[in-house]
Each structure stands twice: as C-alpha cells, then as structure tokens.
C-alpha cells in the first residue's frame, strides 16, 4: 500500500467534493517511466485516527492516463458487479488473519533461539506467553473504530503472533473499501511498534531453526508464513449472504443454490483467492484441499462451511473458507456475486 498527503482549504462533504490527484507510477511499478502519471480517483472517506480533528483518510482508485483502470485496480470491476446486483443486497463479512513479524524477519515475540511451544494455548489466548503484542492489536482495533471502519471483532489465532480481525457485514463495494482501510491502519500502526505484517515467507527448516531467512516476495499478507513445522496458515474466510439467503423459509434453499453454483467454478475462484494459497489449502490445519471443492455444515475442513446456527435456523449466510489472507477483497466479493447472482 502507498499513501501521500495533501492540505485542503475547504472541508469536503463527500467524495464528489474531492479532486482527482496523481502520482509517479514508475516509482510504484504501476507505469513506465516515459508515461508515468497514474491518476488517483477518490473512492471512500474515513476519519484520520492519527491526526484527529477534521482530518480524513481517502481511499483512492488508480487509473491510467487513457482513462482505463490500472492493472492493480480491482475495485473498478468489483463496483460494476455490485451495481448489477444491488437489488439482491449482497452482504460480506471477512475474517482477516495475519502474522506479525519483527523488523528482523522473525515472528514477533517468538524466542530468538528455537520455538514457542506447540499450538494449543494461543487461539483466543489470555496471559503472558500465550498472547503476543496485544497492545498493538488493541491500538489497531481502536484506530479502526475511530476511522469508521466496520470492524466487527478481533481474536488471537492458532499460531502464536497470528491474529484475526473481522470486517462486516458490509454491503457490496463497501466491504473492499473497509477491509483495505483496516489493512492500511494495521501497516501504519505497525510503523510505531517496528512490527511488519510481512509478505515474505520465512522458511524454517529443522537445521536453520534459529536463523530464519526472510524471502522477499510481493507485498501481501502471506497465507503460509511458516511452511516447516506444525503451524497454521492464514486465511481470509469470506462470509456471504443475500436478501434471499437471509429470508426465513427460503434462506437455506438459496444458500444451497449458491453453493451448487460455486462448486462449478472452483478453479476460477481459486485463481483470484490469493498467491501461494496452495501452501495453505493442504486439507490439513482446518482447510479443504485446493484441488477439490467441498461443502458442509460446521465443517472446518471444507471449502464452504454452513455455520451450525444457520443450518438450525434455516437462513443466514455461508462461509467461503478458501480465500488466502493475501487475497484482494474486491476480487473475492466480485467473483462471489458473479458466480452466485450473475452467471
């Protein structure tokens, strides 16, 4: 993610009051040097928890100078899909898992020599040695609430120094906007702790356990930061509902219809569900295998889980457990509505 700042002389009431801006796309690998201007088109406004007062944070879309969306701009197409299905009122609630790393590339708070004890006490853990960096996580939660991000909760995850926050339910395009802003706040607050939410996968082999070497990769929240050892990966479980799935009487049928449609486009979904997801979707560690679609009530080893309480009440939402923690929420929400409501 990138950011820059401008001073305004009049307070904007909405995105329409904000003007288009630009930046040097050759410095961000989004454009060639000889034709480097990328346009920033304001898309959503949040309150600025760092500067406070009347300051704002503006989430922007990137456009090329010929007016086409930049290749990195997935919001453009998600917005088109959401506009087509607005009458269905699609809601999304995403569970963003992520892993904290020290500036030196070591999992945050882990012993520098060796490993923490095996997984078990960390998930929703309480107490020193069981939770890592709670002050940082709390600062992020408060920043999201202040900014107006629809953050719905947080919990410590199965692997030590792995956490989750949930965003939603949000309608349509709002989900991507709010989740990206929550990610921005996480990285931004991490600056003050010297914490990174690393993209790099850290390889720990039995021989080099004390010397993990960070491997540079695309900026992302890596879905399997530790490939050796018995450590859970990180996902972006995507909960989805529509007016029909939320209606008593017909809800369960609508959920089953959506799952049937999703079963036919498994690989198309996997293609936009994040990089290196094959390292995570192994069929172990509470995942379904990447090469096979499956669905079940309360089944955490399936591609799609219908929560127990949804099956009992007969309406509600489904959980797509396939997306990786580094997936783009605009891509996830776009393909889910395309598959279930447009195709």
Interface residues with Mn ion (CB under 5 A) are 95, 164, 237
Task: Classify residue 113 by its DSSP letter.
Answer: S
3 state DSSP class of 41: strand
Pick from 232, 241, 326, 340 the residue near ligand ADP by CB under 6 A. Answer: 241
**Cα–Cα distance measured from residue 342 to residue 80, given in angstroms and rounded to the nearest whole number:** 12
Cβ contacts of 155 within 8 Å, gap of 6 or more: 123, 124, 163, 164
Q: How far is the CB of 316 from ligand ADP (least distance, A)?
A: 6
**Beta 37-47 vs 56-63: how paired, if at all?**
antiparallel
Q: Which of residues 4-33 bind ligand ADP (CB under 6 A)?
A: none
> What SS3 class is residue 26?
helix
Site string for ligand ADP, 133-172 (x = CB under 6 A): -------------------x-------------x-xx---
Q: Which CB, 110 or 165, lies closer to ligand ADP?
A: 165
Q: Quick one: how far is CA 158 from the chain centroid?
A: 18
Which CB sits closer to Mn ion, 201 or 237?
A: 237
Give min distance, CB of 167 to ligand ADP, in A.
6
Nearer to Mn ion by Cβ, of 46 and 91: the residue is: 91
Does the protein bind ligand ADP through residue 316 (CB under 6 A)? yes
Dig out the tokens for 257 from the structure: 């219809």
- For residue 10, the minimal CB distance to ligand ADP (Å) is 36
> For 246, which DSSP code?
T
The stretch near ligand ADP (CB under 6 A) out of 71-79, 80-88, 89-97, 173-181 is: 89-97
The residue (of 25 and 274) whose beta carbon lies closer to ligand ADP is 274
Reading across the β-sheet that carries 37-47, which strands appear in turn?
A: 21-24, 37-47, 56-63
- Work out which of 46, 63, 91, 273 binds ligand ADP, going by CB under 6 A: 91
Of 288, 308, 184, 298, the closest CA to residue 233 belongs to 288
Among the listed residues 301, 147, 327, the one whose alpha carbon sits nearest the alpha carbon of residue 232 = 301
- Nearest approach in angstroms of CB 248 to ligand ADP is 13
Q: Which residues pair with 62 in a beta bridge?
A: 40
**Contact between 303 and ligand ADP per CB under 6 A:** no
Helix H or strand E encompassing 44: strand 37-47
Q: Is 319 in the site for ligand ADP (CB under 6 A)?
A: yes
Nearer to ligand ADP, 136 or 240 (CB): 240
Q: At what angle do helices 75-84 and 174-193 cross, to 10 degrees?
A: 150
Which stretches does DSSP call E strand in 188-317? 195-196, 201-203, 213-215, 236-241, 295-297, 304-306
Residue 316 interacts, among ligand ADP, Mn ion, none and using kind-specific CB cut-offs from 5 to 8 Å, with: ligand ADP
Position among 183, 201, 246, 285 found at the interface with ligand ADP (CB under 6 A):
246
Q: Which long-range contacts (CB under 8 A, 24 or more apart) does 40-45 make?
A: 42/15, 42/18, 43/15, 43/75, 43/177, 44/15, 44/174, 44/177, 44/181, 45/12, 45/14, 45/15, 45/18
Query: For ligand ADP, which is the closer residue by CB, 106 or 280?
Result: 280
Q: Out of 61, 95, 320, 328, name the contact with ligand ADP by CB under 6 A.
A: 95
Number of residues that bind ligand ADP (CB under 6 A): 16
Residue nearest to ligand ADP (CB): 93
Q: Which of residues 96, 239, 325, 333 is near ligand ADP by CB under 6 A? A: 239
Site residues for ligand ADP per CB under 6 A: 91-93, 95, 152, 166, 168-169, 237, 239-241, 246, 316-317, 319
């Amino acid at each position: 993610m990138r950011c820059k700042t401008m001073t305004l002389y009049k307070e904007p009431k909405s995105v329409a009051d904000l003007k288009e801006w630009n930046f040097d796309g050759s410095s961000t690998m989004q454009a060639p040097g000889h034709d480097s201007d990328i346009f920033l088109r304001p898309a959503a406004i949040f309150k600025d928890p760092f500067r406070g007062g009347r300051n704002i944070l503006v989430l922007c879309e990137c456009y090329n100078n010929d007016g086409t969306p930049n290749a990195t701009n997935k919001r453009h197409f998600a917005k088109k899909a959401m506009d087509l299905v607005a009458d269905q009122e699609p809601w999304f609630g995403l569970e963003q898992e992520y892993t904290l790393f020290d500036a030196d590339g070591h999992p945050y708070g882990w012993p520098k020599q060796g490993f923490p004890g095996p997984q078990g006490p960390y998930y929703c853990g309480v107490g020193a040695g069981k939770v890592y960096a709670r002050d940082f996580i709390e600062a992020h939660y408060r920043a999201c609430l202040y900014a107006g991000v629809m953050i719905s909760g947080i919990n410590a995850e199965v692997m030590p120094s792995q956490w989750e926050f949930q965003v939603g339910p949000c309608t349509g395009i709002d989900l991507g906007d709010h989740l990206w802003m929550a990610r921005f706040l996480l990285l931004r607050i991490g600056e003050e702790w010297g914490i990174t939410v690393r993209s790099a996968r850290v390889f720990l082999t039995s021989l080099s356990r004390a010397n993990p070497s960070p491997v540079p990769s695309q900026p992302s929240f890596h879905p399997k930061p530790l490939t050796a050892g018995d450590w859970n990966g990180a996902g972006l479980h995507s909960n989805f509902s529509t007016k029909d799935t939320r209606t008593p009487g017909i809800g369960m049928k609508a959920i089953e219809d959506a799952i049937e449609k999703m079963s036919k486009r498994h690989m198309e979904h996997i293609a936009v569900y994040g990089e290196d997801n094959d390292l995570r979707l192994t069929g172990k560690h509470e995942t379904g295998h990447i090469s096979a679609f499956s669905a079940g009530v309360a089944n955490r080893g399936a591609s799609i889980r219908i929560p127990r309480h949804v099956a009992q009440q007969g309406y509600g939402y489904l959980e797509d457990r396939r997306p990786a923690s580094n997936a783009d929420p605009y891509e996830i929400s776009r393909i889910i509505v395309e598959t279930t409501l447009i195709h």
